[in-house]
Each structure stands twice: as C-alpha cells, then as structure tokens.
C-alpha cells in the first residue's frame, strides 16, 4: 500500500510591502514572510512543507518549511533576529541561503518578528 503526499498548499496573494507586487505565498507562511519583508529582508522563494521526494526532502525529512533568502546578508539579518531565542538544533537546517525549519516553529518566528 502506497501513501500519497499532498504536494500542493493553499496559496494566498500577498502584496509585498516594499514593491507593491502581488506574490503567491503558501498560506501558513503569509504572516512570517510579511514581517520579514517589512524589516527589509528579501526572500526569493518559500514553501510551508518540504517535498520529501526531492533531494532536500530526503536529506532533512518531513515536517520542515523553508525560505530561500535573496542573499547571505538577508539570511544573516533574519538569523540575528531569531537568535534572541534558542531552538533545538534538529529543528533548524541552514543550507546555503536556504533556511529550513520545523513547521511548528512558524508561530514562534512570527512572535519574535513582531517583538523586533
């Protein structure tokens, strides 16, 4: 018996606060990405759930969301903000400008960004 993985997520159109361009964003990441952009941190892509059938997904496993930052500087800005809290090492994976994190951390990151 094989199990199917849902590779589609509900997407929401969000207006980027700096550019005014409407962008499709996975619904679970709307608040976090909006807060990131409002702090002049640029992103390229994101996903609320890693596809476990991809090379990245096979490497890190299920239950991870990810954000691809536009530059190392953008990623470092984000990391400096969330570094005010401590997280389990297995809940965060940095690969280049990709930041993978367990989906249960999304509300925590939103809280941290709101307090920043």
The pLDDT value recorded for residue 3 is 42
pTM for the whole structure? 0.88
Residue 7: predicted pLDDT? 55
Q: Is residue 5 part of a domain?
A: no
Q: Among 6-15, 27-36, 64-73, where is mean pLDDT lowest?
A: 6-15
55, part of any domain: yes
Q: Give the burial class of 29: count Cβ atoms within 10 A of its Cβ; 0-12 exposed, 13-18 middle, 19 or more buried.
A: buried
Strand positions, DSSP E, the chain: 11-15, 22-26, 43-47, 64-69, 92-95, 98-102
65 in a structural domain: yes
Mean pLDDT of all residues belonging to the chain = 89
Phi, psi dihedral angles at 96 (to 5 degrees):
65, -130
93 neighbors 100 (Cβ within 8 angstroms): yes
Domain count, the chain: 1
Domain assignment of residue 18, given as a range: 11-115
pLDDT confidence band for 1 (50 / 70 / 90): very low
């Amino acid at each position: 018996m094989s199990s199917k993985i849902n590779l589609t997520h509900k997407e929401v159109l969000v207006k980027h606060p700096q550019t005014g361009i409407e962008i499709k964003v996975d619904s679970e990441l709307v608040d976090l990405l909006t807060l990131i952009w409002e702090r002049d941190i640029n992103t390229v892509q994101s996903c609320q759930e890693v596809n476990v059938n991809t090379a990245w997904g096979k490497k890190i496993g299920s239950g991870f969301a990810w954000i691809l930052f536009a530059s190392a500087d953008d990623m470092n800005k984000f990391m400096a903000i969330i570094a005010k809290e401590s997280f389990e090492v297995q809940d965060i994976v940095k690969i280049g400008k990709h930041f993978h994190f367990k989906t249960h951390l999304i509300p925590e990151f939103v809280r941290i960004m709101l307090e920043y």
